[in-house]
Structure 1
Amino acid sequence: MEKEKIIKEVFESLLEYLPKIIIGIEKNIDLFRQDREEEAVNLLIQVIEGLQWIFTVLGQTTETLKSNGIEVDASRINDVFIELLDGVKNQDYVLVTDLMEYEMLDILKDLKLRLENKSID
């Protein structure tokens, strides 16, 4: 019983956090596009930490999500995240911005929609 309660709380935290990380990523994209690199890099650190938390939660709840009809493409998420980290390491902020805008936002918005339409039992 306790495990189900914890999973439900984690699920609710994830659902509450997703809109915040989406807004943070959109702001980060804008900062990079405006050549406000120092601000963008500072925010990027927070974004990466937030993404790590999300991916940890998804990794630990994959079976529960799946049993509730929510499929998570962990390999796609992982691939994009690794590319994102490589871009950061190489200071390729055009790549980082593109990955956030055209890959990560899609993944997170899709996940948010699917989670909003389900409840975890």
Structure 2
Amino acid sequence: MQLNIFGQTFEYRNDRSELEGMWQNIFSMLAEEDRQLSHLVVDGVEVYDEMEAYIEERIDSIRTIDVVAVTMQEYIRDVFQTMHSYLTRALPEIERIIDEFYQTPSEHTWIRFEQMLEGIQWIDQALYWLTEHPKHSLDRQALARIRETLAEQLRQLLEAVEAGDAILIADLIQYEIKPLWKEMTEHVQTNVVN
């Protein structure tokens, strides 16, 4: 299989034993160019998540892997745009979850609640990356404060889940998570526009 990165082509055998060396080569070249991995194009298919697993599952038939890398500023902008899009789309869903927890949550409510928690985990990871990455001029203190507040609210939310208290879950989402969600949306909006 061919690996194409920064105008160079490398040949690897279609064998799992080649993958560690291939990934080392990719990340070494990204570091040299001061770039961030955006995604891979594997035989014409764009792969953004679980790239290693995707390649391992198809190792026998892969012909080409194109590495798509971006500058740090482009990557940060993409993170903020993705976060803004998610936060904006999720707010109406959060309203529905609150309403349903104040009544009697159905199995579907719990599934959507779980999806909300997965979104919070993704936001937490993104905020962690943004606060820990030294190559940008973002307000790290504001991002760290939002992340700390989110972690505390998530802890309280999980305690309410363990207690099986649907009203407390609804209250926490209504009066803690939702206002923070709106604050994050405003903060992210500022960074998406700039």
| Offset of residue 59 of structure 1 | 1.2
Greater relative contact order (Cα 8 A, min sep 6): structure 1 or 2?
1
| Partner Cα distance (1:93, 1:108) in 2 | 20
Partner of 1:6: 75
| Correspondence list, 1:1-121, <5 A | 2-63=71-132, 67-69=137-139, 71-72=142-143, 73=145, 74-119=147-192
| Offset of residue 76 of structure 1 | 1.4
Deviations 1:37-69 (A, max 9, x none): 3232121111111111111111111256x8334
More strand by proportion, 1 or 2?
Answer: 2
Q: Runs of 4 or more off by more than 6 Å in structure 1?
A: none
| Offset of residue 120 of structure 1 | 7.6
TM-score by length of 2: 0.55
Q: Please report the RMSD computed on the Cα atoms of aligned residues, expressed in angstroms.
A: 2.2
8 Å contact kept, 2:101–2:169: no
More helix by proportion, 1 or 2?
Answer: 1
Alignment size in residue pairs: 120
| Partner Cα distance (2:72, 2:193) in 1 | 12
Q: Which has the larger radius of gyration?
A: 2
- Structure 1 pair 26–62 and aligned structure 2 pair: CA distance change class (3 A): same
TM-score by length of 1: 0.84
| Partner Cα distance (1:119, 1:43) in 2 | 27
| Offset of residue 83 of structure 1 | 0.9
Q: Which runs of 5 or more structure 1 residues have no equivalent in the other structure?
A: none
Aligned identity (percent) is 27
